[in-house]
Structure 1
Amino acid sequence: MRLLRFGPEGQEKPGLLDADGNVRDLSGAGVPDFAGAGVSLDALDRIRALDIGSLPVVDAPGRIGACLASVPNFHCIGLNYSKHAAETGAAEPEEPILFSKASTALSGPFDKVVLPKGSKKGDWEVELGVVIGEECLYVSEAEALSKVAGYCVINDVSEREFQIERGGQWVKGKSAPTFGPTGPWLVTADEVPDPQALACSLTLNGQVMQDSSTSDMIFGVAHIVSYMSQFMKLVPGDIIATGTPEGVGMGMKPQRFLKAGDVMEVTIETLGTQRQEVTAA
């Protein structure tokens, strides 16, 4: 299934993209908004049991919002692609690097990205998003993918000066409002048989900046979910941004950073495409 949320910001309704590309309204079928228990494996099974053809078609869905209404935790993995680690001059990590974005960074896939006050080094990062569908603690790698509700596109927008040059943790450079475009769809896990075989790309003003595959991940999705569950309980609706491939602005020579008027298009095979215009606070 391809699940989405449509409508003005703060008034989104849950929907489903049918086989013909029509948006079907789920709000009258007792389906809660997509957050927390609303994206649990049980909740997804209840949606599958609906007669999709009987649901109303939305002729003009308008704005597509983030595919999740909110997230309990917005987890992230750093330096998780071999070529990206190389372009930053960093050694490949021996264990996954864990950090977080503020949950308030979550935004729609076509909403504007707003560079925060004082921003000098805004950057782009296409990432595979993993949405947890069942509580997991101390889960094995063999069982980890069975806990995944689905996958989505994330642009892990970053402010590199805030992240690297201002001391402390990376979260400062990752968490400005609009720095977490997510969607357009939450694609359920059964539609993605191998999360390590997805082409991913990002263009800036029509120029290809990132063009890679999730096969270049140092730590795959199953390993990440299992690893994280050794340190914390993952719960339904948690999202994990699993790292970005090479081609970020920070890694270019000379470096290149976002400015007002730039347009990013972010694509992952099977999961859809985002588009954001950059503006300044």
Structure 2
Amino acid sequence: MFVKPEPASALFAGPYALATLSEPGGPDFPALVTADARALDLRVAFGDPHLTVRGLLDAWDTSAPRLASLATDGGSERRPLTDYRVCAPVEPRQVFQSGANYRQHVIDLHVAHADPADDRSEDERRAEAAEIMDRRAAEDLPYVFIGLPSAITGPYDDVVLPAWADKPDWELEVAAVIGRAAHQVPEEEALEYVAGYTIANDLTDRATVFRRDMPQIGTDWLRSKNAPGFTPLGPWIVPAASIADPGDLRLVLKLNGETMQDESTRDMIFDVARMVSYASQSARLLPGDLVLTGSPAGNGMHWGRLLRDGDVMDGSVTGLGAQRTRCVTEDRS
């Protein structure tokens, strides 16, 4: 069921957004959502009963002008969003995740994950983190790894905290949605391959990030980030043309009504264009793929408060809308 953000004007920037909706007992379908919180079934508008959001992204150069026209067509039959369940807006083939891409966040994590044997002061560890970030920025080496599409869930669905996850944490992020196949694209052209943006909450179990049995191997992203439902996504994709500057968006995450993350994408070490370009140097990005761009300071490790049963997370990003998810602990019996 659609959960309406407050105020209503916070739905999204621009004339329309792209969503995946469903009715009780019915299949998911692509929809055009307008700022008055109404939805148009795009299977009908495009005359294709099998149409999906990813199908629209596969042909984004032709889909985008037609969607813009439909958004201003007052004769199109639209129904209230409250008639539908809002699903994750797209099923990507690939998910590219980013780590350590917000300056203050990296500093906080560096301190939080300090080796117990490290007897340096917090100021010394923070200075070390700042030096590492400066070097990374100068060398143009973002940190990108692979996530699983099976971890994605809807923007208002419950999030199941696995019984084995001792330190589940939140990470609100801006996700770029690819609209054209991209391979080895230069930074100055990278945003031309982005169809739009959406919200992701890239949950992480901090207790399993590092393999303590084999510390020389380093991080274990499979276990720590890819449990089913660990990536609430959406509520919709806002076309890139409606976002004036992805480098100037405000991310806010509230836990049970209390603000935990509140930062601008200006704090990114590597901006969206650099992230997309970098990922494309090694991999071929496909339409519908997600490039998550990292999370700002204010995660649970920073506050000393991890997720637990009954917690409600409200995440919002300027122009992209808002999501709300409730945490439910997996039955340990």
Under TM normalisation by the shorter chain, which class is it? over 0.9
Give the superposed CA RMSD: 1.8
**1:187 shift after superposition:** 0.1
After superposition, residues 12-91 of structure 1 pair within 5 angstroms as 12-30=28-46, 32-35=51-54, 38=57, 40-42=59-61, 43-50=63-70, 52-59=73-80, 60-68=82-90, 70-89=91-110, 90=129, 91=132
Cα deviation, 1:124-158, whole Å, max 9, x if unaligned, reads: 01100100000111111111101100000111111
**1:25 shift after superposition:** 2.0
Distance 2:192 2:277 in 1: 11
**2:220 pairs with 1:169:** yes
Partner-residue secondary structure (3-state), 2:291? strand
Partner-residue secondary structure (3-state), 1:246? coil
> How high is the sequence identity, in percent, across the aligned residues?
38
Bigger Rg, structure 1 or 2: 2
Residue identity opposite 1:171 in structure 2: L
Count of residues in correspondence between the two structures: 278
**2:190 pairs with 1:144:** yes
Q: Provide the residue aligned with 1:103 in structure 2.
A: 149
**1:24 shift after superposition:** 1.9
Over 6 Å off, 4+ runs: none
Which of 249, 258, 269 is the equivalent residue of 1:198? Answer: 249
Cα deviation, 1:242-262, whole Å, max 9, x if unaligned, reads: 00000001223xx22100100
Structure 2 residue ranges without an equivalent (≥5) = 1-15, 111-128
Which of 176, 180, 184 is the equivalent residue of 1:134? Answer: 180
Q: Provide the residue aligned with 1:231 in structure 2.
A: 282
Distance 1:269 1:228 in 2: 25
When structure 1 is superposed on structure 2, of 129-138 and 23-32 the one drifting more is: 23-32
Partner-residue secondary structure (3-state), 1:201? strand
Q: Provide the residue aligned with 2:271 in structure 1.
A: 220
Distance 1:190 1:277 in 2: 32
Partner-residue secondary structure (3-state), 2:275? helix
Residue identity opposite 2:54 in structure 1: A
Partner-residue secondary structure (3-state), 1:54? coil
Distance 1:181 1:188 in 2: 19
Instruction: Tell me: CA distance 1:40–1:201, structure 2 relative to 1, closer, same or farther (3 Å).
Output: farther
Structure 1 residue ranges without an equivalent (≥5) = none
Distance 1:238 1:132 in 2: 5
Distance 1:208 1:266 in 2: 10
Distance 2:59 2:282 in 1: 21
Q: Give the structure with the higher percent helix.
A: 2
Partner-residue secondary structure (3-state), 1:233? coil
Which of 9, 20, 24 is the equivalent residue of 1:5? Answer: 20
**2:322 pairs with 1:273:** yes
Distance 1:139 1:271 in 2: 26
Structure 2 length as normaliser, TM-score? 0.79
Structure 1 length as normaliser, TM-score? 0.93
State whether residues 3 and 15 of structure 1, in contact with CA within 8 Å, keep that contact through their aligned partners in structure 2.
Answer: yes
When structure 1 is superposed on structure 2, of 203-212 and 23-32 the one drifting more is: 23-32
